[in-house]
Amino acid sequence: MKISIITPTWNRCDSLARMIQSVEVQALRPFEHLVIDNLSTDETASVVSAYAARAPYSVIHLRNGDKGIYDAMNQGAAIAQGDALYFLNDDDSLFRPNSLALLSAALKLAPGGVAFGDVIVRDPTSRAERRRNHRQMNRLTLAEKSICQQATIYSRKAFDAVGFFDEGLKAAGDYDWMIRGLIGSRIPAIYLRAVVAVFASGGISSDPAQNEEFQAEMNLVTERHFTTGIRARALRYRRFWRKLPWGLSLCPGSEEADRLSVTTRTAFQNYLLPDPLALLDF
């Protein structure tokens, strides 16, 4: 599988260098790494130039002005040559040297779809960490929360079928895409019960100072895709039913459409195994 990593960046040469290190140690090398640079004025060009000189794969440095992160991600997706796309921000990193290999193996189980794992959310100031998992992914959970972009690898076929990210959104474009993909297009997905990336908090999606703006955008996307009835059931499910085994089936008003084409796997070393605990989620 040829994986294209796409990294939007702007004036973060130090964190960009750390992110690059997490890619360089991967047991499975990417096919290419596209750095979409919003005309940085720091040492970004030097960092990428040195990276390109030593990398045993193609490193493409695209210096263009962009209209936001989803414009930059779309620019990368438009020129990427791989048959899988993985978006890794300049202040994030892959978790372990086998992260890309695990994501690739998971995606092979969902051809034409996506695969996603868990992430570690790290506060860049305090260095405090917490794990964010994506289990119990169904229509009701998707009406309540997003799947972290850093946790997700997209097949080229899925991206072509669902389309580009909505550039009118500032922080919820990947959430909007996932709803369009998993619900609108019913693409298949694999949930890998393993940490694959480290997500640095502090952006608009996690900065308390910008939380009100982010929540307003999330609500906008939710209202765009879900009826009032589904949102009400999603709230009841989150507050009570999802805490029970087979909670989705027990939740009043449960519908077959609530189930998505998501299969769970667990990682044992470099092997992916069926996860019998996933049965309890539905």
Q: Does residue 275 share a domain with residue 137?
A: yes
Count of C-beta atoms within a 10 Å radius of residue 102 = 27
Amino acid 37: pLDDT: 96
Q: Does residue 282 share a domain with residue 207?
A: yes
Pick from 21-30, 94-103, 121-130: least confident: 121-130
Q: Does residue 79 share a domain with residue 134?
A: no
Task: Compute the mean pLDDT over every residue in the chain, rounded to the nearest whole number.
Answer: 93
The full DSSP string for 63-111 is E---SSHHHHHHHHHHH--SSEEEE--TT-EESSTTHHHHHHHHHHTST
Examine residue 217 and state whether it is found in any structural domain, yes or no: yes
Given 47, 72, 92, which residue is the final one in a domain?
A: 92
Range of the domain at 39: 1-92
Q: Does residue 142 share a domain with residue 55?
A: no
Q: Does residue 113 share a domain with residue 17?
A: no
Q: Does residue 85 share a domain with residue 126?
A: no
Q: Is pLDDT at 208 greater than 60 in this prediction?
A: no
Amino acid 280: pLDDT: 74
Amino acid 207: pLDDT: 54
Domain with 25 in it: what CATH number?
3.90.550.10
Examine residue 163 and state whether it is found in any structural domain, yes or no: no
Overall pTM surpassing 0.85 (yes/no): yes
Q: Which DSSP letter does residue 257 get?
A: G
Among 120, 118, 88, residue whose Cα is nearest residue 201: 120
pLDDT digit string, tens, across residues 80-114 = 999 999 999 999 999 999 999 999 999 999 999 99
Q: Does residue 176 share a domain with residue 59?
A: no
Amino acid 209: pLDDT: 57
Q: Is pLDDT at 151 greater than 60 in this prediction?
A: yes
Examine residue 279 and state whether it is found in any structural domain, yes or no: yes
Among 183, 180, 136, 150, residue whose Cα is nearest residue 162: 180
Q: Does residue 255 share a domain with residue 123?
A: yes
Amino acid 177: pLDDT: 98
**Tally of structural domains, the chain:** 2
Given 26, 57, 92, which residue is the final one in a domain?
A: 92
